Structure 1
């Protein structure tokens, strides 16, 4: 069938987060506007944005992200790319972390393709502040 476009009550959710702030708000599959990010930060929330490339990381930092989830193309369940019609480059997570770390000091969480302790160690050596695993636990 045809895709159904739905904002899933996005503005209502932002209003709720501003009225009743939480410590961390994260976004994937896109970024909110810089005004939303600024308002969430002013309310006391850290804003986390998911990126899948160096270019996306720079956009996220410019938008005001406090922390980046850097997801490689090896992610098991999904890709948080901003451009769903364009498959992210097959850059290993450690290499992607190193590229982004070279361009920003914003804290980085490595995600996607971390299946072994060695993978996690490589991501940390490349400049990640922490690692996130998901599908590998299944």
Structure 2
């Protein structure tokens, strides 16, 4: 009888330690990409430049990037594509501008910018390889 009791306790403890977090909404990755994304910084950062950028992604695959800093508002627009491959979600943005712009975040210049959606639902700037460490979260 003790063996049966131990088996039941063992079975219950194994099931309670299951790694199925599918019901945990806090860890769910964003799948509704459309809408406004705002620059995210650690809560300690209160410098005005730490939240100057935002993006709006529209359902017609157009976007706008806005920078508001020291009462100057700059907006660039273009189109975007979402590429899902090997469990990674990437946003590839192509600007309509005719020439390079320092406002476009990339390592090599040009009119293309890209981001990777991480597991905490933040867009990480792919130009982080060249010190452009911008991170964005979806606005509520």
* TM-score, length-scaled by structure 1: 0.26
* Structure with the higher strand share, 1 or 2: 2
* TM-score, length-scaled by structure 2: 0.25
* Structure with the higher helix share, 1 or 2: 1
Query: Which has the higher Rg, Structure 1 or Structure 2?
Result: 2
